[in-house]
Amino acid sequence: MTERRYDLDWLRIGAFGLLIFYHVGMFYVTWDWHVKSSHASALIEPIMQLSSPWRLVLLFLISGVATRFMANKISTWQLTKARMGRLWPPLLLAMFVIVPPQSYYEVVEALSAMHAPQSPWLDDFYVKYVTSSGHWCDADGCLMTPTYNHMWFVAYLILYSLALLPLIPLLRRLPAALAALIRGPGLIIAPWLFLYAARVFLMPLFGETHDFRNDWYLHVTYFVTFLFGFAIAKHATFFETCMRWRWAALAIMGAAWAALMTYYAAWPGDSIPPEWQRIIFRGVREMQAWTAIVAAIGFAHRHLRGHDGPVRRMLTAAVFPFYLIHQTIIVVAGHYLNELHLPVTLEASLLILITFAGCWLFYDLGRRIPFLRIWIGLPSRAKTARAAMAPPRPDPAPSGG
């Protein structure tokens, strides 16, 4: 009988799929991004806020769960080699091949806005990108290169996977202690209090930079979430409780989102609300985030545990290569589509179509060429065959369920 959690596979697929649509949306909202459509407005920003607070927290939680299942099959040294071998090649490919076009078009649009001459790609930009000598600066700061852009998630996952190693024996014995903490309403209250405290005390000090050297608010939030996922991976009661609370969590999430949208509408643009309101609504934001995660896990556990098949297997393999390439396709295609001055519905539809077609082509070519597989986040065929034959290692910790 397989240990694989199909419900979490589907959640991971869904979260990354939402991320692709979210980044398409970033082309059309007023928030700062690499390139912007001339149609950009605040129209879809409330929809973007439906997933913005929780999507990455869920992905780090699922990553922690997946790491636990890997740790049960292989030794700590093998786990380290597997994680680093799976994550480092795509990160390097991204920084030096995939991400440079994003930085290029960001510079092109910034120079165009300033009516300044543009840098040639082959003769000028790439050399400056690789050697960090571009000095591309504006009033908001300088573009630092080489950079990982959207692949910060992978960079952080590398750091967290390494930091996890000495904690594995402790985390395997935590479910019994966690059981009391997250029993009943504690499932909602305890994690929410942690997220709320981090948002109130750390976010104002450090912000969200995605620069691993000083991103301490996100490091605390995401690393603890990653560890929590590792600890509860075998704790069946957690997933069953999420299933029981799914409808209540969904209702709370919807109410919190509506309250946040009302709050944001009351303080538009650069207006600054009183500090007490900011503190309260940071808590509302984190309540939306955690209850959305509980609802997502609960509904997936209820309806997707037994849903396996070729579609699930294909999407599970494809989702990381899609993530790897999608933002570059959006940036490049968006830049050129915007120059055509198409109606926004046609432009957005074409951008979504081009993005998913390009992602599929990238994945399909990469999986067929053996040398490229590890560079797009896929295991080699030999490793896949060996993993399928490896027996699971015994887990010394009680399941708590």
d(C-alpha 301, C-alpha 293), whole Å: 12
Over the chain, what is the mean pLDDT? 91
Q: What is the pLDDT of residue 39?
A: 97
| Higher pLDDT among residues 294 and 134, named by residue | 294
3-state secondary structure of 49: helix
d(C-alpha 371, C-alpha 374), whole Å: 7
| Look-up of token digits 């990553």 | 63
Q: What is the pLDDT of residue 84?
A: 96
Q: What is the pLDDT of residue 182?
A: 84
Residue 328 has pLDDT above 60, yes or no: yes
Per-residue pLDDT tens digits for 93-102: 999 999 999 9
| Residue 394 region by backbone torsions, left for phi larger than 0, else alpha for psi between -120 and 50, else beta | beta
What residue type is 303 in one-letter code?
A: H
What are the distances in angstroms from CA 182 to CA 224, 231, 276, 294, 382? 15, 13, 28, 12, 41
Q: What is the pLDDT of residue 369?
A: 95
Residue 142 banded pLDDT, cuts 50, 70, 90: confident
Q: What is the pLDDT of residue 194?
A: 97
The average pLDDT across 159-165 equals 97
For 22, the token pair is 């979210």
Residue 268 has pLDDT above 90, yes or no: no
Residue 118 has pLDDT above 80, yes or no: no
d(C-alpha 264, C-alpha 135), whole Å: 35
The average pLDDT across 203-208 equals 96
Confidence (pTM)? 0.92
Residue 389 has pLDDT above 70, yes or no: no
Q: What is the pLDDT of residue 341?
A: 96
d(C-alpha 210, C-alpha 217), whole Å: 10
Q: Which of 53-62, 120-129, 180-189 has the lowest mean pLDDT?
A: 120-129
The average pLDDT across 185-196 equals 95
d(C-alpha 247, C-alpha 151), whole Å: 33
Residue 283 has pLDDT above 70, yes or no: yes
What residue type is 225 in one-letter code?
A: T
Q: What is the pLDDT of residue 313?
A: 95
- The percentage of the chain sitting over the pLDDT mark of 70, rounded to a whole number, equals 91
Q: What is the pLDDT of residue 395?
A: 45
| Higher pLDDT among residues 138 and 184, named by residue | 184
